[in-house]
Amino acid sequence: MATPLMVRSSPFWCRHCYTYQYPLNYKPFSSISYSPIKTKSFSLLNSAKMEGGTGITQEVKENLGEDLRVKKKIFVAGATGSTGKRIVEQLLAKGFAVKAGVRDLEKAKTSFSHDNPALQIVKADVTEGSVKLAEVIGDDSEAVICATGFRPGWDLFAPWKVDNFGTVNLVDACRKLGVNRFILVSSILVNGAAMGQLLNPAYIFLNVFGLTLVAKLQAEQYIRKSGINYTIIRPGGLRNEPPTGNLVMEPEDTLYEGSISRDKVAEVAVEALNLPEASYKVVEIVSRPDAPNRSYVDLFGSIKQR
């Protein structure tokens, strides 16, 4: 008879995913949010050298930890976009599994590495309806991050197809699947009319292409009424350069100017996943050189829910 495997029975803090993890013999199993451990882990455990019958080798513990970390799968819509790609990269760097939703699979092949087992690339067009989106998001995704954006062109309905109907389709797909975490990358000035910013050059410019900001605002309102746990992030002007200065986070309908690195926007979206302080909130963000350096808990915690 094989000697029974003994592992520690108390929860422990995982510094990679910022949550408590539970060992194999912890009860009840219903409290464990991760999917079953891969077969290769059991093979590794069974062949491990026992230490007095009460533990496993450090090498086995490290491999077990690797398998447990890469379990929480996040679906990213618009994954090959300038901001979406950065979100995917940061999620992978933090140990998440990612399902990257893209319209162009060929473009995705040149955008991402193919040797990362934590990355799955799937074809997903947000304009094709919630039923198809639900199929590609799947029941293995725990959250959705929407970083889509229309491509300027002659189609004046493009902003509504992508930034409005597309976002609504994603929300409806989440409701069908029971996915209860949704993060949207939107824009400052979406509610510029109510803020008295009708003559703001940025508001005028962003609405030239089919009332883009109006489309985004209506999508935001749909999310807020959906019952899903949301975080809506409204960045200022997006820069491709690395971050400079410190992050400024304000309540909705506050900021009407300023810019921010796409890398920092991606970081805010990823950090929001694990913070209760980010739930059911709309935040506006820019970077400023004179801003204090504050933690994300402090930043999100300072914004009140409406």
| Enzyme catalytic residues | 187
d(C-alpha 242, C-alpha 255), whole Å? 22
d(C-alpha 182, C-alpha 170), whole Å? 9
Using only the alpha carbons of the chain, give its radius of gyration.
21
Among candidate residues 294, 228, 236, 232, the one with its CA nearest the CA of residue 260? 236
d(C-alpha 256, C-alpha 199), whole Å? 11
CB 112 within 8 A of CB 121: yes
Specify whether the backbone of 226 is left (phi greater than 0), alpha (psi in -120 to 50) or beta. Answer: alpha
Among candidate residues 257, 252, 161, the one with its CA nearest the CA of residue 202? 257
Residue with tokens 């998001």: 137
d(C-alpha 232, C-alpha 224), whole Å? 9
The helix or strand, by DSSP H or E, that contains position 51, with its residue range, turns out to be none
Among candidate residues 9, 142, 10, the one with its CA nearest the CA of residue 73? 142
Count of C-beta atoms within a 10 Å radius of residue 157: 12
One-letter amino acid for residue 81 of the chain: G
Per-position b or e across 247-279, b if 16+ CB within 10 A of its CB: bbbbebbebbebbbbbbbbbbbbbbbbbbebbe
Which SS3 state, helix, strand or coil, does residue 97 take? strand
